[in-house]
Amino acid sequence: MNSVISLAQRSAGYVRSVRAEVHKVTWPSWDELKRTTVVVTIFVIIIGIIIGILDRISSLLMIDWFPRLFS
């Protein structure tokens, strides 16, 4: 029974400390959130295009050009 009380006290202390930390967080404004969302979206699209180009180049090398070299 004592261990149950100890667990409940530790859990309550954990929840209190989490709430205190959440109050310390500096949340972005709506404009900052929109701006950073656009920046991240554009960055992901650019990286996706770069990976697609590199994939196409490696595909051409492996499938088309290497067999011609060894045949």
Cβ 40 vs Cβ 48: under 8 Å: no
Owner of token pair 């404004």: 29
> Residue 55 has what pLDDT?
96
Q: What is the pTM of this model?
A: 0.61
Is the alpha carbon torsion for 17, 21, 24, 28 positive or negative? negative
> Residue 1 has what pLDDT?
65
To 5 degrees, how large is the angle CA 13–CA 15–CA 19?
115
pLDDT in tens, 12-64: 999 999 999 999 999 899 999 999 999 999 999 999 999 999 999 999 888 88
pLDDT in tens, 33-46: 999 999 999 999 99
- Each domain of the chain, given as residue ranges in start order, spans 2-69
Amino acid identity, position 14? Y
